[in-house]
A and B are shown apart, each in its own frame.
Chain A
């Protein structure tokens, strides 16, 4: 099973700042089958990025994904108030697993 480790656990930033979230896999993720989800309090997860770097329908271009192999990154170029949430990575290249999440909170 591929284990995904997200860092940092919590990111404290101000609106307008840039956020960089990391997702490291215990082995290479086949075909860059890596997704990112956003979960706001009391809400279901929402798909942001699939295939490591493709934005899902309706996702603003301030969200971008990059990486391959075992190292992946989600970048939020300028944080908006609604972006303060928990973010999860997921790999679907070998079975399906989620990372433990990164909480982006207001500084």
Chain B
């Protein structure tokens, strides 16, 4: 079964750091670009960041550029999001998602989503 499982969310103080992980299974992870999308409680979806299948290309929303870093370990079939200088408006459910076409980046929709992990930013 194709599956994405996020972990690493939790409570962090403003200005703090957190690393999210997304463990993939059931497909050839190294062939697909991966992305992070977030959703504040009761709000809509917001694109955060993406990374190409081999990790050579990355993309960030302006709101997180310079504070967040996306990476992947294809040998461990895991996607990461290192978040720093966290603010109250970063508080959200964070979903990882797979881009549908193999070896594409930013050229297809997201066909597989994880269940999300909650990040709470509060003192």
Contact = CB atoms under 8 A, between A and B. Distances in A.
Contact of B108 (A44, A46, A92, A99): A92
Given A44-B116, A88-B45, A101-B44, A96 B111 contact: no
A48 to B, nearest CB: 9
A88 B106 contact: no
A98 B45 contact: yes
B107 A33 contact: yes
Interface of B is mostly: strand
Q: How large is the interface on A (under 10, 10 to 19, 20 to 34, 35 or more residues)?
A: 20 to 34
A100 B116 contact: no
Q: How large is the interface on B (under 10, 10 to 19, 20 to 34, 35 or more residues)?
A: 20 to 34
Nearest to B47: A96
B44 A98 contact: yes
A45 interface: yes
A46 B50 contact: no
A98 B109 contact: no
Interface in B41-89: 44-47, 50, 59, 62
A100 B44 contact: yes
Given A57-B111, A90-B109, A92-B106, 8 more contacts: A35-B109, A35-B110, A44-B95, A44-B114, A47-B110, A56-B111, A95-B47, A99-B44
Interface of B: 35, 37, 44-47, 50, 59, 62, 95, 97, 100, 106-111, 113-116
23 contacts: A35-B109, A45-B37, A45-B110, A45-B113, A46-B113, A47-B100, A47-B110, A47-B111, A50-B109, A50-B111, A51-B109, A56-B111, A57-B111, A88-B44, A90-B109, A92-B106, A92-B109, A95-B47, A95-B106, A96-B35, A96-B47, A98-B47, A101-B45
